[in-house]
Every structure is written in C-alpha cells, then in structure tokens.
Structure 1
Amino acid sequence: MIKSCDRLLHQEFELRPLERSDAEGMFAIMSDKEAMKYWSTEPQTSMSQTLETMKKYIEDDSQVSTSSWAIQLPKQDRRFVGWITFFGFKKGICELGYALNREFWGQKIMTKALTLATNDAFERYKIHRMEAQLHPDNVASKNVLLKLGFAVEGYQRLNFYRSGRFEDTLLMAKLRLPHDSL
C-alpha cells in the first residue's frame, strides 16, 4: 500500500502534500508555454483545467495510486513553486513526474527537491526501479535526472500524441539494488 507523503524539510524549501490551495501556483506553471514546452499536454488556458488536473492528483493520492509533493519556499514566503509526483506503482516500480515554475529554473531547486523526494520514495515505497519519460529535446530535465543517478535506457519513437502529431520520448530509470544505500 502506498502511504501518503508527510513533510520533508530542506533549508531552501519544504516538500509537503499537494493541496487545493496550490491551484494558483500550479496554474502559473501549467499555463506557461515555455514551462509546458516538453509536456505531453498543451498549456492550460483556464483555472478550471488546472483544478481538474489538481483534483486528479489529490484524489489519486488519497486512493494510493499516486504520491504528490508540493515544493514550497521557506516560511517567510510559503510560495508554491512546483511539484513532484510518483505514479504508476506496480510491484516495486513507479514513474516520476515533476514541474517547476520557470522563475526558479537554473537554481538547482528541482535537483535538490528530487534528490530528497526520490530517496524518500525508494525507502518509503520499497521501490527498486523508478522511471521517467521526457522529451528528447528537454536537456535540462535530462541533466537533472543524470545528476540523480538515472540512466538513459531507451528512445521511444512516436509514443505520445500532442499538438496534432506523435512525438518521441526518452526513457530514463534509476535502480536501487539490494546492496545500495541511500
């Protein structure tokens, strides 16, 4: 059974459960054409779309098929700046998704947040394999995953549909072998 996430603290941010009050911050990301450039969906154009997306994350989290973290800045600001989601749990395997407000790109926040969250997920959920799919042109995301110890395992041709056409993805994964320690 997937346990819902608690809070994980870092000196630069806090990871906490995603909440409905994060909708405005999530919409800021999901409506940003540049931030959504490599996503499998189009940028959102209304808050109602974001609320539907958020509802899915939160409801799925309560039904233990996903675990979603909000990335929030420290106490003085308490600003929602992104999220991390683990989903597709099956027999020690899960998938990883994440997004960060463009204002915070290049500050290593996502690298640090993913390090904290993936280490926790490997331990909490007894994961032995974590996968991520990303657009081949998303070099920044690929580099973040490489820093975390993910390896490129394959190039999947024309496996998702967006903007009226099929596009490719890279499959990256990280393994936790029995002798590995976090």
Structure 2
Amino acid sequence: MSKSPFEQFPHITSDEITLRKITDSDLDSIFEIYSNEKLFQHSPVMHTNNKNTVANKIGHFERDFCKKKCIFLGISLNSEPNKVVGIAEIFDYSSEVNMITIGYRLNDRFWGKGIATEAVKLITDYIFDNLEINRIQAFVMPGNIKSQEVLKRNGFIKEGVIRQGHVWKGHGVVDLILYSLLKSDHKK
C-alpha cells in the first residue's frame, strides 16, 4: 500500500547532491532559474524577470504541498548547500492508480555534470522505496533531448507520443513524449 507523498516533506541526500525544501533565503538562486528563458523552452511554466513574482512562487511551493498538489524540491550541491541549482517537482499523485508524475529543471550553468540524472535517481528511489508508489511518469517535449536522456539513464521507458494532447503555457497545444518507470522495472 502506498503512502501519501504529502505526509512528510522529503529531504533526500546522496554523496553529491541534496533535494530539499525551498525557502525564502533561496530567492536569488530560484530567481536565477526562473528568469532564464532558455530553461523554459520545453516547459509548461513561463519564465519571469520579476523577482517579486518568484518570491510569491516560493510561498506557493509551501501552499501547494499543504494542499497536496505538488512538491517542489530545491536541488543543491552538497559542496554549496545554500545555493539551489535546480528544481525537482513531484505532482499529480493518483492513489487509485498508485502513480505520480515528476519534472525537473536545472540552471544551465550546471548542465552536463550528471546533476539532473542524479536528482531523478534520488527522486525515483525515494518514491519507490519510501512511498511505495508503483508508477512514475514524466512528460517531455520531443525537442528536449537532454531531458529524455536523463530519463533513459534512469531506466525510464518511452511509452509513446501524445500527439497534440496538452496545452502548455507559451507553447499552445503540444506533442509530449510519455516516459514511465514501474517499481518492477526499478533496480533491475
């Protein structure tokens, strides 16, 4: 039987990175991510150049957790624990199907270092081992090759393309590739 992902806020650590709660003191790091248009080319979320908007988002992260909608985790390097280099999301929990959806974005200054791959590994281990959820899925725009590679390196299976099936802000109606990982696939 799965546990609700909203019973306890996750704090997940490996040798290299930590996934943790985002706080007001992370505003500058989070603003650096949300104000970088490049990071939102393949995203349903819009970038913003307004620091107050980003400060409000940080408040909404807490609210969304309390409302059992979404968990936003800051990705920090253990060498610089007070700086957030990326954001991981856990959302759309379905207790009936026993599944959840993940997403992530990383400050482009940290691309190519294996951080996103490690973050997804930590999330999947946490979801399967601590929450006992059976299915994790992720939606990726076809042009987002880097994100697809992150998922493949973590054992996710490409299920197919959902053609013109979703509306993403700033993009209109889009094609999305659906990737999934089942608990039975995990750690094979």
**TM-score w.r.t. length of structure 1:** 0.88
Query: Matched residues in 2 for 1:126 and 1:171: separation?
Result: 21
State the match for 1:54 in structure 2: 58
2:125 aligned partner: 119
How far apart are the structure 1 equivalents of 2:57 and 2:90?
15
Q: Which runs of 4+ in 1 moved over 6 A?
A: none
The one-letter code matched in structure 2 to 1:70 is G
Q: How far is 1:76 from its partner? A: 4.9
Cα 1:107/1:155, change in 2 over 3 Å: same
Deviates more, 1:107-116 or 1:1-10: 1-10
| 1:174 matched residue in structure 2 | 181
Distance 1:76 1:108, change over 3 A: closer
In the alignment, is the contact (CA less than 8 A) between 2:87 and 2:105 conserved in 1?
yes
- The aligned runs of 1:142-157 (5 Å cut-off) are 142-157=148-163
Aligned-pair identity in percent equals 24
In structure 2, do the counterparts of structure 1 residues 109 and 153 end up closer, same or farther at CA, with 3 Å as the change threshold?
same
CA distance in structure 1 between the partners assigned to 2:44 and 2:148 by the alignment: 16
Taking the TM superposition and a 5 Å limit, the aligned residue runs for 1:8-27 are 8-27=12-31
- Give RMSD over aligned pairs: 2.1
Q: Secondary structure at the match of 1:34?
A: helix
Q: Quick one: which amino acid aligns to residue 145 of structure 2?
A: V
Query: Matches of residues 1-182 of structure 1 in structure 2 within 5 Å?
Result: 1-2=4-5, 3-76=7-80, 78-91=82-95, 92-158=98-164, 159-163=166-170, 165-177=172-184
**Structure 1 residues 66 and 41: alpha-carbon distance in aligned structure 2, compared to 1, 3 A threshold:** closer
Contact kept in structure 2, 1:93 and 1:128, CA below 8 Å: yes
Shift of 1:58: 1.7
Unaligned runs of 5+ in 2: none
TM-score under structure 2 normalisation? 0.86
Please say which of residues 121-130 and 71-80 is displaced more in the overlay.
71-80
Provide the rounded CA distance (Å) in 2 between the counterparts of 1:30 and 1:23: 10
**Uncovered stretches (5+) of structure 1, i.e. residues with no partner:** none
* 8 Å Cα contact 1:97/1:132 also seen in 2: yes
Q: Return the alpha-carbon distance in structure 1 between the equivalents of residues 119 and 83 of structure 2.
A: 15
C-alpha change, 1:132 and 1:76, in structure 2 (3 Å) is: closer
Residues 8, 162 of structure 1: CA spacing in aligned structure 2 closer, same or farther, 3 A cutoff? closer
Residue 11 of structure 1, CA deviation:
2.2
The answer on whether the counterparts of 2:43 and 2:168 sit within 8 Å (CA) in structure 1 is: no
Is the Cα contact below 8 Å between 1:4 and 1:61 reproduced in 2?
no
Find the aligned partners of 1:153 and 1:67 in 2 and give their Cα distance. Answer: 24
CA contact (8 A) 1:29 1:36 kept: no
Structure 1 residue 55, shift from structure 2 partner: 2.5
